[in-house]
Structure 1
Amino acid sequence: MGVYEEKKETCGTICLKYLLFTFNFLFWLAGGVVMAVGVWTLVEKSDYISLLSSKTYAASAYILVLAGAIVMVTGVLGCCATFKEQRRLLRVYFVLLLCIFLLEILAGVLAYIYYQQLNEELKQNLRETMINKYQQKDHEHITRAVDKLQQEFKCCGSNSSSDWATSIWIRSSESAHRVVPDSCCKTPTELCGIRDHPSNIYKVEGGCISKLEKFILDHLKIIGAVGVGIACVQIIGMVFTCCLYRSLKAEPY
C-alpha cells in the first residue's frame, strides 16, 4: 500500500513537472510578445509620445518592456527549477511570477486610467504644443512629430487648419508666407503651404486631435489587454508552482 502511494505521488509530481515546463515555454514566448509590444510603442511611436504632456502612455510601455524581459528570464529559471526539483528555486520562481503579475496589472491599470483622461489632455495641450513649439529652436523633435502626424493621418492643425494662423512660426518671416506647414499638403513640396485651399491641404473634421486620439486609444487597448491577459495566465503558473512545491515537500529526501 505504501509503495502504491509513493508511486502515485511520484506520478503526480512528474505530471506537474511537465505541465509546469509546458507553461514555462509558453510563458517565455509570451514574454517576447509583451516586450515586443512595449518596444514597438517606444521606438515606432516615440514621435507621438513627445506630443503628449503626460508620461503615463510611455510609462505603460516601459513597464511592459521590463515585465517582458523579466518574463523571459523567469521562464528559463522556471524550467531549471522544475527539472532540478529544487524547492528554493521554486520559491524564487514564484516570487518573480508574483512581481511580474503586479507589474503587468500596473501597466494595464495605467493604460485604463490614461484611456479615461486622454481626450481632455489632447484638447488642452496639443494645440498649444503645435503653435508654440513647431519649427522652434530646441524643439526639432516636436517639429518632426507634427509633420509625421499630419502626413500619416492626413490632417492639418490640432482642431482645424485655421489653428496655424496663431502659430509663432507661421507669423514669423521664417515661414516665407506659408499659412500652414508643408506637411499639411496632400502632395508635400517646398512652399506648398502657401495655399490652404481644400484641394491642396487636408481639411479633416476634428483635425489631428481626433486622429491622434483614436490611434492612442486603440494602442492603449492593446497595451491593457496584453498586460492584463498575460497576468491572468500567470495565475495558472503560480498554481502549478504551488502544487509542485507541496508535492516535493511531501516526498522524502
Structure 2
Amino acid sequence: MAMMKMKFNLRKRVKLAQGLWLLNWCSVLAGIALFAMGLFLKIELRKRSEVMDNAESHFVPNSLILMGALACTLNAFAGKICYDSLDPAKFAKWKPMLKPYLIICLFFNVFMFFIAVLCLVTRGSLESTLSHGLKNGMRYYKDTDTPGRCFMKKTIDLLQIEFKCCGNNGYRDWFEIQWVSNRYLDFSSKEVKDRIKSNVDGKFLIDGVPFSCCNPNSPRPCIQMQVTNNSAHYSYDHQTEELNLWNRGCKEALLHYYTSMMSSMGALVLLVWLMEVADMIGLRFLHTCLDSIANPEDPECESEGWLLEKSLKETVTSVLSLLKSIFKLNKVESAEGDGGDKTPAVATVS
C-alpha cells in the first residue's frame, strides 16, 4: 500500500507545480546565501589561520560553499521541471531523470543536515584548534627576525587589540614564555643574566605583557611591566586592584566569535534544509500524480500521488534486500576473481 496517497485533479496539479516552481527559486536564493556564508566564514578563518592549529576548521566553510553551489544547480533544474510539468510533450523528456534526481536530492539533504548539526556542535574541536594555535603564536611572538614568523608579532598584537583580549587563557600566559627578542636584551646587564640563569630553559621571563594587552578605557596609565610587583608602582596592589589589562583570554574571545557565527549559520542551514526537504517531497508528489494519469488525453481527469510506492516498512525491507544482494554479488565476483587465475598442478612421473 502506497504511503501518504493523495488525489489530485487538474487544479491541484497546477497549484502544486506553481508552488514548487516558486519554492525552488526561493531555494536557489537560499543556496546563494549559503555560498556567501561559506565564503565569508572561509575568509574570516584565513585571516586568523596563523593562530589556528590545523586546516580541519575549513571543512565547514568548504562544505557550505559546495552545498550553496549544489543547491543553486539542483533547485534551478527542479524549477525548470516544475515549469514544464503541465505540458505533456515537455514533461516527457524530464520523466526518465526524475527518479535519479530525487535519489541525488535525498543524499544532498542528508549531507546538509549533517553540516547543520556540525555547525551547532563544532565548539569542542574549534576550542582545541584555537588553544594550540594561540600557544604557538605567542611562542613565536619574539621571532621578528625569523623568516616565516616575522609577521606573528603584528598578528598577535592586532588580534589582542581587536578582540580586547590578552594571552591564551589570560594575561598570565605571557609570564610563562619569553616574548622579548634577544636582539633587545642587554646581556651585560646583571638583571638580564640573573633572569636567564634562574630559568631552567635559559629563557628571559618577566611578569610583563605586550602593549596590546592594555585596556585604553582604564584611567590609569597602563602597567604592562612588573605587573605583580606592588612596590614598583605607586598605590598599587595587583591582587585587589582592577588591572588596566584585558582580563579575557583570546581563546575565549575567538571561540565566542566563531561559535556564535557558526550557530547562526547552522540555524540558517537547518532552515534551508527544511526548504529542500519540502522541495523533494513536493516534486515526488508531482512526479507520481502526473505519472499515474489514466488518460493523458483528458487533462481534467483525477490522478493519485504518493510519497512512497509501498509502506515504510516494505520500502525499508526492499532497500535492505537490494543492498544485501549487491553485497553478495560483489563478494561472489571477488571470489571468482581470486580463484580464476589458479590452474591445477599436473604431476609428471618419470
Larger Rg: 2
**What is the match of residue 4 of structure 1?**
none
Q: Distance in 2 between matches of 1:26 and 1:175?
A: 63
Aligned residue type for 1:184: C
Q: CA deviation at 1:235?
A: 1.2
Q: Distance in 1 between matches of 2:244 and 2:102?
A: 54
- Map of 1:53-72 to 2, 5 A cutoff? 53-72=53-72
**What is the match of residue 39 of structure 1?**
39
Q: Distance in 2 between matches of 1:153 and 1:202?
A: 16
Q: CA deviation at 1:239?
A: 0.8
Q: CA deviation at 1:203?
A: 1.7
Contact 2:105 2:280 in 1 (8 A): yes
Q: 1:9 to 1:49 in 2, by over 3 A?
A: farther
Match of 2:168 among 144, 155, 158: 158
3-state DSSP of counterpart to 2:122 = helix
3-state DSSP of counterpart to 2:48 = helix
Q: Which runs of 5+ in 2 are unaligned?
A: 1-7, 86-93, 187-203, 217-221, 228-237, 298-350
Q: CA deviation at 1:81?
A: 1.4
Q: Distance in 2 between matches of 1:87 and 1:202?
A: 70
Q: Distance in 2 between matches of 1:72 and 1:129?
A: 40
Match of 2:267 among 210, 222, 225: 225
Q: Distance in 1 between matches of 2:29 and 2:79?
A: 13
Contact 2:53 2:129 in 1 (8 A): yes
Q: 1:137 to 1:102 in 2, by over 3 A?
A: farther
Deviations 1:74-101 (A, max 9, x none): 2211111112232234335423432331
Q: Which has the higher helix share?
A: 1
What do you get for the CA RMSD once the two structures are aligned? 3.3
Percentage identity across paired residues of the two chains: 21
Count of residue pairs brought into register by the alignment: 239
TM-score if structure 1 supplies the norm length? 0.78
Q: 1:44 to 1:116 in 2, by over 3 A?
A: closer
Q: 1:214 to 1:101 in 2, by over 3 A?
A: same
3-state DSSP of counterpart to 1:155 = coil
Deviates most, 215-224 or 168-177:
168-177
3-state DSSP of counterpart to 1:23 = helix
**What is the match of residue 199 of structure 2?**
none
Deviations 1:81-127 (A, max 9, x none): 1122322343354234323312322212322342244445544x144
**What is the match of residue 287 of structure 2?**
245
Contact 1:100 1:231 in 2 (8 A): no
- Map of 1:1-253 to 2, 5 A cutoff? 9-85=9-85, 86-123=94-131, 125-134=132-141, 135=144, 136-139=146-149, 142-143=152-153, 145-173=155-183, 180-185=209-214, 195-196=224-225, 203-251=245-293, 252=296
TM-score if structure 2 supplies the norm length? 0.58
Q: CA deviation at 1:17?
A: 0.9
| Structure 1 residue ranges (4+ consecutive) displaced by more than 6 angstroms after TM superposition | 175-178
Q: 1:63 to 1:202 in 2, by over 3 A?
A: farther
Q: Distance in 2 between matches of 1:93 and 1:119?
A: 39
